[in-house]
Amino acid sequence: MHWIDPDCLQETRGTVTQFLLNPHGELDGFVLGKNKQVHFPPHMSKQVAKHVRIGEQVKVRGVKPRSANMVAAVLLTSGSGVAILDAGPHYDGEKHEKPHVEKRPIEITGEVRLALYGPKGELRGALLTDGTSIRMPPHAAAELVSYLEPGAHIQVWGHGVKNKYGHTIEVDDIAQWVDADSAEVR
């Protein structure tokens, strides 16, 4: 979003309660308070990791899509006043390379705390109450809306990555979790 002047955008403030990871293990967002998702592109991951901490008050200037309770950040300001601007992925002259991470097969059950969205407000997954984020392509998420709504109990199979910032699973299969003996697989 390097073409947008952040000074003309609405400011959102809040306390960072959790980081969100993409399937490559990079930061691509965080949660403010209990349920406000802030999305930023992964090329900002290193700067955010360096300057923003859990429990810190931050300011976000960004774009709010009509269809989602989230903000696509253009400018983040840390509690210590460091400004992190989305100047585009090639701003510093280097191409942003996705890191190579070892993903392992994972099966998890849990309750959905928050639906997760991409930068244009497209549904992309969910955050579980245990802090695990599950991710899928928008076309798959659009077909599985009821599985990704807060309060839904789900079982997920996929491949995941975990680091000091969080835990993310790229979904292969998902089911409504009925009880320990039966689940409806999709």
**pLDDT at site 87:** 85
Please report which confidence band the pLDDT of residue 95 belongs to, taking 50, 70 and 90 as the band edges: low
Residue 96 has pLDDT above 60, yes or no: no
Chain segment 40-73, per-residue pLDDT in tens: 999 999 999 999 999 999 999 999 999 899 999 9
Residue 164 has pLDDT above 60, yes or no: yes
**pLDDT at site 101:** 74
The alpha-carbon radius of gyration of the chain (Å, integer) is 16
Arithmetic mean of pLDDT over the chain: 90
Residue 184 has pLDDT above 80, yes or no: no
Q: Is 138 strand, coil or helix?
A: helix
**pLDDT at site 178:** 78
C-alpha span between 156 and 36 (Å, rounded) = 23
**pLDDT at site 177:** 87
C-alpha span between 7 and 167 (Å, rounded) = 33
C-alpha span between 49 and 185 (Å, rounded) = 37
**pLDDT at site 186:** 44
Asked if residues 161 and 25 have their Cβ atoms less than 8 Å apart, the reply is yes
Chain segment 109-156, per-residue pLDDT in tens: 999 999 999 999 999 999 999 999 999 999 999 999 999 999 999 999
Q: What percent of the chain has pLDDT over 90?
A: 80
Asked if residues 117 and 133 have their Cβ atoms less than 8 Å apart, the reply is no
Task: Say which residue, 182 or 39, is predicted with more confidence.
Answer: 39
User: Which domains are present in the chain?
Assistant: 6-85 (2.40.50), 104-185 (2.40.50.140)
**pLDDT at site 14:** 97
